Structure 1
Amino acid sequence: MYNRKQNVIKMAHQLFIEKGFQATSIQDILDYSGISKGTFYNYFSSKNELLIGIYKTIYKQLEKDRNDLLIGRNPADIDIFIKQLELQMISNRKNKLIALYEEVLASNDADLKQFVQNARLKSLHWYFNRFIDIFGEEKRPYLLDCAIMFQGIIQYNLLYNRLANETGEKISRVVGYSVARLVKLVEEVAESGNQLHEPNL
């Protein structure tokens, strides 16, 4: 049953990439994955729940892959963080997550929007914890602010890099450049003693 459910998730993901989430009907998913309506509703209560299942499957794999990079390594090593980021950006691009996010946020579905918001907060939490590993506890008061700013830096650097028709191989250049800015950002914010958000927020 698990493998069959995962196959539906995989096939629906392909359809959502090709046709878009909104334009894909449950009947399209049934036809493409070769299952009955009863089987579909045995696995998922709705198309929205299926999309959430896709996100969760991708995140679970990404989390495992990022953690694998830390095995036997010093978590303070910024080069490991760079590799983790490259892995994440390649996964996002391969799975067309940004396009799916944008479609969800443009919709009026409150549950999906809430799920995406929670996913963003989870991502922010990961950045914050990794920054503590890298920059140390003494900089903790400033690292939530830095994590928020860094998300914006890397997101828009990748966006405009993509618009400039850069190839996938250039992701490492964008990540390296963004992390170099991050190091200076953390130094400057900590030195200023200026804090916008409490880390326990």
Structure 2
Amino acid sequence: MDLLRFKTQKDFALALNIKQGSLSDIIRERINVSNAIKDKLALKFNVNVEWIEKGIGEPILKKKPAVSEPKKGVPYFNLSLADKKDFVMNDDQAEYLVNYRPFNDCSAYLPVYGDSMYPKYASGEIIAVKEITNFEILQWGEAYVVMTDEESNSLRTIKLLFEHSDPTKLILRSSNPNFKGDTVIDKKNIQALYIIKGKITRNTI
């Protein structure tokens, strides 16, 4: 079973992209399991959501559901990546849901702050991002939201990704020519990675 590969709560929390303390609170039934975490448990580990919510059926499904229920929208987080060392995207932090069909397969909407990605993404614009779990299949030259652990200075940034000569590393680069110099990180230090699928105007939301 996939869940058995996690030796510690910290490893499991990282796989779900939540704080270890939040996972501990869920296990101790101090807080409820958010819809976002239920989705991740179902998609990544084949956990039976009906068992979580009602105690019905087996905890782990033998086969994944062929069709998932349609989303009511994608959560919008009015948060600055740079200001949140422990930035975690879960339902509790979302301002509201955005139902915009072209990006309804995305994980979240985020506002852009700063000019390092100008003119590709300007400060104040809103980007639609989708979580990437396989770091071996990346689109070079595309923009990603990158979140790393303390070993890589707890980065929370938007950057273009490029291939490094060392397959265990990645090159991060700004699209704004005024922000010169590359940043190199180890793939093992990535806590979460989201590809930017596009951007929307505030009129859309």
Q: Please confirm whether the aligned pair reaches a TM-score higher than 0.5, indicating the same fold.
A: no
Give the TM-score of the pair, scaled to structure 1: 0.25
More helix by share: 1
More strand by share: 2
For CA contacts below 8 A with separation 6 or more, give which structure has more relative contact order: 1
